[in-house]
Structure 1
Amino acid sequence: MREFSTPLSITIPSTGNLTDDVVTNAAEAPEAVVFSRRDGDAWSDVTAAQFHDEVRAVAKGLVAAGVEPGDRVALLSKTRYEWTLVDYAIWFAGAVGVPIYETSSAEQIAWILSDSGARAVVAEGPDHLARVREAREAGDLPELQHVWSIEDNAVDVLQRLGSDITDAVLEERRTAATPQSLATLIYTSGTTGRPKGCMLTHGNFMFELGVAVDELQDLFDTEGAATLLFLPLAHVFARIIQVGCVKSRARMGHSADIKNLVADLGEFRPTFILAVPRVFEKVFNSASQRATADGRGKVFDRAADVAIAWSRALDGPRVPVRLRVQHALFDRLVYGRLRQALGGSCTYAISGGAPLGDRLSHFYRGIGLVVLEGYGLTETTAALSANLPGAIKVGTVGRPFPGTSVRVGDDGELLFRGGQVFAGYWGNEDATREAVDADGWFHTGDVGEVDDEGFVRITGRKKEILVTAGGKNVAPAVLEDRLRAHALVDQCLVVGDGQPFIGALVTLDRETLPAWAEQHGKTTDVASLVDDPDLVAAVQEAVDEANKAVSKAESIRKFTILPGEWTEEGGQLTPSLKLKRNVVVREARAEIEALYLS
């Protein structure tokens, strides 16, 4: 059994809570710009003192409305400034935040509100309010007393409501929480079953961010550090960056509409960003397709190959002179434009939620954007390990953070122990005992390896390992990650459990497909294209490339291109764009069976 630990490098506070960062910022650097918020067509700055005042005013409104210490207050909204404002106001009032994905259905909202016993909801707009009403009508929600709407002046309403609450009353509320106090209930988006509420304490966040900000000083603590959040703040990945920015005073912005993301990045000019692998895949594939459409496809492909080769060479004794010259040429012709699309100032990116893959990691590092891939779960307050600016090993998720230990179980499962491991599942002691053993080791459900230097590599999901009829164990994630890297592929499902060989179902990328069809003189009708020989040949190339990563016995032998899509709205993807394997397998049972009939 392999085990690796890293000692704590800093002192974690034993008192206080997450609100202390806001108070400290206002006292020590009141004029520091800690947020830039979208104000019509422009961005307006928010200082540490302004944020402190706004948070306190909203928190007083919550207290006046009858929100008591420990009460749960739900947040149902897109990523926006008010999300962060209300989140901290909930903590100032001594309450517990319950984030809900803004795409959640009425049924999902009803479950979370009921299970958490939420006292109040702050929703964004009419559509969200309608779903809350539907949830209220359909579910048993006796605890729910207040529903406020951001677009209907919730912030102003709460500030006016709390005008009679004294500073002393609020300060008593704010300071009552300790590191052991519950800070938030984050419901796992869940690839299986109903979501479970993960209990994360103030101490979990304080441990995670105390270590992470210290280890990632190149991101958080540099002059002009700034990031633009566009992932859902209901996800622990974005939430932890939010708290990290407040702690370090890195300027933060919010962008809720992906359609405006490129323009927002250009105006905001972040120095680092965070995204899930599918975003990095989309950026690469879109750039490749645009280059091809403009007649520069071969130049882009060559530039990509050089970027990857240059990045790989960085891990060797030296970069060959010829490669340095080629890299400098493409930096002027291609790479600079790609960096400009991210605002022109971005040098680091954090990737999490799923494996990124060696090729994309090397590509982005090769163009001047170092992608720091990390690993963690909702149950671990986000990151357990991460590649760091001075310690990168592409293809891994880095070493465990200081104060964190990793162990590889006898069955290959990764187990972690540290101060960021959650307090358990809300109202579900049985599930908690299954997740955390008597010695405090959290069982991740992921299978992986730890090398001699402590770098962790994820190889698959324990429950998603396929066993073929011949007894071969196959980790589908390796093949799926490679397939999704192809411009024409949106999503894929590798199958073959109990079957004589491995197969795959593939869906097509609606953004890149029209350009491909135009270049090849084809119809853009997806249903007519799925059996087109040229398209099938193109997908076969992607399959052949994916198969290079595995043995012959593990390789994809047959595949089917589906005319439909797998989406979050359709219920096949989680909000972090991970495939709900059990859902897709159930819905595509006929297509899977057809793979093995002939």
Structure 2
Amino acid sequence: MSDTDNLIENRPPSVATLFIERVAATPDAEAFRYPVPPASGQGPDDWKSLTWGETAERVYNISAGLVALGVRPEERVSLASATRIEWILADFGVMCAGAATTTIYPSTNADESVFILSDSGSRVLIAEDASQLAKVRAHRTELPDLAHVVVIEEADAKPDESDPEGWVLSLDDLEKLGAEELAARPDVIRQRIGALTSDQLATLIYTSGTTGRPKGVRLRHDSWSYMAKAMAATGLISHDDVQYLWLPLAHVFGKMLTSGQIEVGHVTAVDGRVDKIIENLPVVRPTYMAAVPRIFEKVYNGVAAKARAGGAAKYKIFQWAAGVARETSKVSQDNFRHTGNASVPFNLAAKHKVADALVYAKIREAFGGRLRAAVSGSAALAPEINYFFSGAGVPILEGYGLTETSAACFVNPGPAYRTGTVGKPMPGTEVRIAEDGEVLIRNPAIMVGYHGLDEKTAEVLEPDGWFHTGDIGELSTDGYLKITDRKKDLIKTSGGKYISPAEVESQFKAVCPFVSNILVVGGGRNFCSALITLEEPTIMEWAAEHGLGGKTYAQVMESPDTQRLIDGYVQRLNDGLQRWQAIRKFRLLPRDLDIEHGELTPSLKLKRPVVEREYGDLIEDMYAGTREK
């Protein structure tokens, strides 16, 4: 057994133990940074810090406050809030009380929020503000188990005359209650932590299903202590890192990142406002951050649009530099794979030096100037976009995992990263490919099962611990995994050809700098077609330059000029595809797909059945009059 294996095998039963150890080891070191908007509402945010010791004080007060409210081990405490420092403090507090955090996206509607609270049997809801409180207040009689709602924004913690006594309180009230509890019973939280066992329920995360109700994924305390140790063992994070955390903490990815932070003790800057990412990066100056592919696609399209707006000469320089970046990344990865040296030929290195001065340095500066690596997960990133950023000095390390596996179980290994793959197994993770190509995973972080759904659990979890991911993949001889598609998303044409929609969609995103979302259809049909949306700022800027100024987005989508523009990119896409993969027809949608209309998950994945159902008439129109084979 290696030192790494031994470290993971001998992990503590809970991250709560690691938290106590971290606080004891570095009480005065900075743990978190978070923004405080100016009172006037104008000007830049003021960033404040918490040391590990200060973090612990607030965490233990929250934890003891929950104990004082009567929360028992493994009882559920729901969190409905955007990503912010209080989310993390509350989650740590729930963990240290021995309870189980149940996550709810703040964008979740009232009906589904009530379902999650009811299905989980949550005793307490920690809600961000008045809007989250209102969702449950209107349905309080349907939630007999919900004893209290704790509101983070103090001004919004206002009891209604119909509320039971003590049903609504502020987070500040909870912390004061906890301080009183600790004064009376100083060891109460350490006793709760000491009593934790590895198989106790720590987290209940509801998957955002594409159809029907979401399923609650039950994750043990042991899942997170394993994940913390495994993350550290990869060598991708260290004590000296500064992480920028903006991802939704209701997603399993965020919980994994905070677990790893506790293990190594680095600094995390927390701000979930997506519209502040560009503004925050030069302020935070992170050394690493995690994101979903949609963010990198937006950055790439934004950089290309800015270059195009600068005139023909500037855009030509950008296109040349983008080509050099991709070539450099491909050659260096290939050399590293075969020789262990990522060097490139002299002529290419000389071109790269010029391109770096003209283009790449500005891109790195936009990311804060210190970004050592970015981790991308949740969905596939188009390889050509990855090659571009990696060649520009912003390596994007793709990883892979699911809610059911406590997030990452594969990640690209630093300098040995391989674009187009999700890397190698995390330490302690086993993988095998089933006869039908499905990826099977086994490790200590696999879920206990779906909450109250034993039959659904048995469909994906074998008695010996192997989990059926539902993804189709290929494993290289040296252990790199490539995910080719979701098993259920593969489509078969009427001619008998199997097609991976995700692969075609990914290639189009690399070809077309205007695209926002694309959905390829063709199951049971004699050719493939697509529904396409465009990045509004980018296409509206193009529209203004091409005689379409003053028109709405929907009107621009209908314009023959826009249709011709996108048709050109579709033809470029088709040039690189097999005949049966080619997009024969497409339709531009009058608005972008979004979370609010239920077309994207909170992690920005396409909900294919929802989009196909909503735009069924457009799809049928593309096939009208064609002869099915």
Q: 1:182 aligns to what? A: 201
Aligned equivalents of 1:446 and 1:316: distance in 2?
27
Q: Provide the rounded CA distance (Å) in 1 between the counterparts of 2:197 and 2:572.
A: 52
Matches within 5 A, 1:69-218: 69-136=73-140, 140-152=142-154, 154-165=170-181, 166-215=185-234, 217=235
1:370 aligned residue: 395
Match of 1:403 among 399, 411, 428: 428
* 8 A contact 2:15–2:228 mirrored in 1: no
Q: Indicate which of 304, 314, 328 corresponds to 2:332.
A: 314
Greater Cα shift, 535-544 or 307-316: 535-544
Which of 291, 299, 317 is matched with 1:275 structurally?
A: 291
Q: Is the 8 A contact 2:233 2:427 kept in 1?
A: no
Shift of 1:545: 3.8
Letter matched to residue 589 of structure 1: G
Find the aligned partners of 2:96 and 2:278 in 1 and give their Cα distance. 34
**1:589 paired to 2:616:** yes
**Within 5 A, what are the aligned runs for 1:541-556?**
541-556=568-583
Shift of 1:134: 3.1
The aligned residue for residue 3 of structure 1 is none
Is 1:476 aligned to residue 501 of structure 2? yes
After TM superposition, give the deviation of residue 548 of structure 1 in Å.
4.7
Residue 252 (structure 2) pairs with residue 236 (structure 1) = yes
Helix, strand or coil at the partner of 1:511: helix
* Other-structure match for 1:457: 482
What is the TM-score normalised by the length of structure 2? 0.91
Deviation, 1:423, is 0.7
Give the match for residue 298 of structure 1: 316
SS in 2 for 1:406: strand
SS of the counterpart of 2:101?
Answer: strand
- Paired residues in the alignment total 588
Q: Deviations over 1:305-325 (max 9, x none)?
A: 111111111024451222211
Query: Does structure 1 conserve the Cα–Cα contact (< 8 Å) formed by 2:28 and 2:53?
Result: yes
Does the 8 Å CA contact 2:8/2:428 hold for their aligned counterparts? no
How big is each residue's C-alpha offset from its partner over 1:85-123, in whole Å with a ceiling of 9 and x where there is no partner? 000000111110011101110011011001000001011
Equivalent position of 1:432 in the other structure: 457
Q: Judging changes above 3 Å, is the alpha-carbon distance between structure 1 residues 169 and 460 closer, same or farther for their aligned structure 2 residues?
A: same
What is the CA distance between 1:14 and its match in structure 2? 5.2
Are positions 1:60 and 2:69 aligned together? no
Is the 8 Å Cα contact of residues 399 and 422 (structure 2) preserved in structure 1?
A: yes
Which 10-residue stretch deviates more, 389-398 or 153-162? 153-162
Gapped regions of structure 2 (runs ≥ 5) = 38-44, 156-169, 336-342
Which residue of structure 1 aligns with residue 544 of structure 2?
Answer: 518
Structure-2 change in CA distance of 1:561 and 1:11 (3 Å)? closer
Distance of 1:199 and 1:168 partners within structure 2: 29
In structure 2, give the amino acid aligned to 1:200. L
Relative to structure 2, which stretch is displaced further, 260-269 or 99-108?
A: 260-269
1:419 aligns with 2:436: no
User: Which of 481, 485, 489 lines up with 2:515 in the alignment?
Assistant: 489
- Equivalent position of 2:370 in the other structure: 345
Alpha-carbon offset, residue 54 of structure 1: 1.0
CA shift at 1:8, angstroms? 3.7
The amino acid that maps onto 2:90 is: V
Q: Give the whole-Å Cα distance in 1 for the aligned partners of 2:572 and 2:427.
A: 37
Aligned equivalent of 1:394: 419
What do residues 194-244 of structure 1 show as CA deviations (whole Å, max 9, x unaligned)? 1111011111111122112210x2x42153x01111110000112211121
With 516-525 and 358-367 compared, the bigger mean Cα shift is at: 516-525
Q: Deviations over 1:295-314 (max 9, x none)?
A: 22222111111111111110
> Measured at CA, do residues 25 and 510 of structure 1 come closer, stay the same or move farther in structure 2, by a change above 3 Å?
same
CA distance, structure 2, for counterparts of residue 111 and residue 231 of structure 1: 24
2:354 to 329, 349, 373: 329
Identity of aligned residues (%): 40
Write the deviation string for residues 385-420 of structure 1: whole angstroms up to 9, x where unpaired. 111113211100111122212111111111111111
In structure 2, the residue matched to 1:354 is 379
Task: Return the letter of the residue paired with 2:10.
Answer: P
The secondary structure found in structure 2 opposite 1:25 is helix
CA distance in structure 1 between the partners assigned to 2:329 and 2:415 by the alignment: 15
CA deviation digits over 1:470-513, x for unaligned, max 9? 01111100011222342221111111111111111111221211
For the pair 1:221 / 2:232, whether they are aligned, the reply is: no
- SS of corresponding position for 2:540: helix
Query: Normalization by structure 1: what TM-score?
Result: 0.95
User: Does the 8 A contact of 2:13 with 2:225 survive in 1?
Assistant: no
Name the counterpart of 1:539: 566
Structure 2 counterparts to residues 501-512 of structure 1, below 5 A: 501-512=527-538
**Matched residue of 2:533: which SS?**
strand
SS in 2 for 1:344: coil
Offset at residue 150 of structure 1 (A): 0.4
Unaligned runs of 5+ in 1: 1-6
- After superposition, the C-alpha distances for 1:12-41 in whole angstroms (9 at most, x for unaligned) are 335431112221122111111111122332
Contact 1:22 1:48 in 2 (8 A): no
- Give, in whole Å, the separation in 2 of the partners of 1:8 and 1:556: 48
Q: Does the 8 Å contact 1:447/1:462 carry over to 2?
A: yes
Bigger relative contact order (CA 8 A; separation at least 6): 1
Q: Deviations over 1:131-158 (max 9, x none)?
A: 2223435xx2110010011001733211
Question: Which shows bigger deviation, 464-473 or 539-548?
Answer: 539-548
Matched, 1:34 2:31: yes
Deviates more, 1:14-23 or 1:29-38: 14-23
Whole-angstrom distance in 2 between the partners of 1:339 and 1:246: 28
- Contact 1:508 / 1:563 at 8 angstroms: preserved in 2? no
Task: Classify 1:244/1:38 alpha carbon distance in 2 versus 1 (closer, same or farther; 3 Å).
Answer: same
Q: Indicate whether 1:500 and 2:526 are aligned.
A: yes
**Is 1:265 matched up with 2:291?**
no
